[in-house]
Structure 1
Amino acid sequence: PATVDEVSQDDELVTLTVSTGGELRKITARLLVVADGARSATREKLGIAAATTEYGQHALIANVTPQQAHRNVAYERFTPDGPLAFLPMSNGRCSVVWTQKPEASTQVLELDDHAFLGALQAAFGYRLGTLQKTGKRFAYPLSLVQAQRIVSGRAVVIGNAAHGLHPVAGQGFNLGLRDVAALAEVIADSDDPGRRSTLRRYRRWRAADHKRVINFTDGLVRLFGSDLGPVRAARGAGLVAMNLLRGPRALLARQSMGLSGKLPRLARGVPLR
């Protein structure tokens, strides 16, 4: 795979020096979009620092096939160790994101397929019937990563490179899509995609959404990660109330889908031109 060795820029252009198979080549453009993940090497090349908060949890990832059809419905269960999510995929499969303490995650990874499905079934229940098949499993540590800046000259940092979130509310992907939609809109409205005023508009537009989603997600992690008795009681009561009351549930769903605040045209289904 190609790697970015150097990033340089002036008032008009940004230049990447890219290494591919031992060969160096230069790529020049008016705008560099950095979207290479939470551990972004390109962000580092730009000299943009990132603040990292470790949660002391691992996310175990697997694809499983349940007995019953998921009907394109996602499920999330909050367990004592952390949330367990089943996300619908093609061919009747579900993508599993199982948040656990590191030692528990290590133990589960060592199980064979039959034992793993048994442990997962015990944690998730029988909402989708018996879990019948599983693919390969892997795990990674969970953290909150926030870029200190999302604009540097003619470079803009988006998606997980700008904000790596805990998967508790499934917000990272939606937030990244809104980044893309907003950036596409400000570019479409400008004759120079990397102009300072263009990227300043993007930065200001995205700031409130980033702050809201980061605080919401981080708050959920801390709420459901607390072992204090009063917090556990309040947490349980809140979940019951959310399940019974349509208004708060609809508001939470709207927030979770990113449908609050000023939405980019693409996010509203409106063409850019």
Structure 2
Amino acid sequence: MPELPEVETVTRTLNIIAAGKTIQSVKVSLPRIIQKPSEPEVFAAALTGHTIEKVERRGKFIRFVLDGLVMVSHLRMEGRYGLFAADDPVEKHTHVRFRFTDGTELRYKDVRQFGTMHLFESGEEFRQPPLVKLGLEPLEDEFTLEALRSRLASRTSKIKPLLLNQEYIVGLGNIYVDEALHSAGIHPETTADRLKPEQWRKLHLSIRATLERAVEAGGSSIKSYVNGQGDPGSFQHQLLVYGRKNEPCPSCGDPIIKTVVGGRGTHYCGACQPLPKARRSAASAPLR
């Protein structure tokens, strides 16, 4: 699933290829993509004649800001947007087509068919699902050390699942949580209430730094991710632990361990990220 850096990259690309264009018509080929309103024909009619003013990101969601309306899109596993000439052949698994008055089309393709679109009147999108309960934006000024600690420091849950919870911090997924925890020297099974002040400081810095580097690199193309212009990201070449099971840790040379934490495959270095003694007996066994 695309995480914050990938969605941010797609959002920036959409601002280049789609902002300023006026929608002439909308064709929906897979009705379940459209979550609000429930009738695809109402969705299509509502958007007709409106201009995309800008495209923004909220967590892992894309906000198409139009004149009076906002469309909220989630790419889920493999959703992607691309700009085409209206008479270009339509690729398989293209489920929504936004035809513009200039003769181009923004097409939404989704092989796995898990993506969603919601349409709201401007401002209403923040008071209803799916955006209403989203947490801190880790690349915004609101993401301070104090804000991070106030949300998580008293919790007895393991730190990795907490960081994956979008109600606390948005945009973080499996890749970037593993990378940030490694940079901060924190074992993924450490409970939040056992983190020391210096660990919180390092974690705060590593989350922001990891995401900033990933955005600069255009995200990570682990499987099929590309931006709206068809270009892959390159941050996968900078990953220190994720996907590197049994390879030497870049920091100390010990082999990277893969285990399961909170139901998610998890990569870490046992030497650089030691588990506090009180938790060691309960640690998950590494995957062989």
TM range (shorter): 0.3 to 0.5
Q: TM-score, normalised by structure 1?
A: 0.32
Q: TM-score, normalised by structure 2?
A: 0.31
- Greater strand share, structure number: 1
